[in-house]
Amino acid sequence: MKTVNLPEKISDELAKTAEELTLMAKKPISQSMAIDLLIEIYHAHLNNPCALDAFSQQLKSLDIMSPEEFDKYWDEQTKSEVTKRKTKTKKQ
């Protein structure tokens, strides 16, 4: 087994997704199972040549961040959300 470091926001979304899949399946779905299911859905979707072409075109046209920029962006988003929550809590 390998460990993957995820930004907190992504980790939270993964946990929510696993919970939603658990409710739909009426069986426990772990976070790693959720990732596997999402990858399977991705592969199934892209087995359609039209979908693959459209997705490829979208990716080519996006201004994609580097992995380092992506991690920094999510880290900053998480810090700013924590700051907002602390500020709201102090005001109440």
- Residue 68 DSSP class: H
pLDDT at 87: 54
pLDDT at 91: 55
pTM of the model: 0.65
Long-range contacts of 33-38 (CB under 8 A, 24+ apart): none
Amino acid symbol at 69: E
Q: How far apart are CA 86 and CA 55, in angstroms?
A: 39
* Model pLDDT for residues 25-64, shown as the tens digit of each residue: 999 999 999 999 999 999 998 898 888 899 899 989 988 8
pLDDT at 80: 63
Return the higher-pLDDT residue of 70 and 11: 11
Q: How far apart are CA 92 and CA 80, in angstroms?
A: 19
Q: Stretch 85-90: mean pLDDT, rounded?
A: 54
Q: How far apart are CA 76 and CA 91, in angstroms?
A: 23
pLDDT at 86: 55
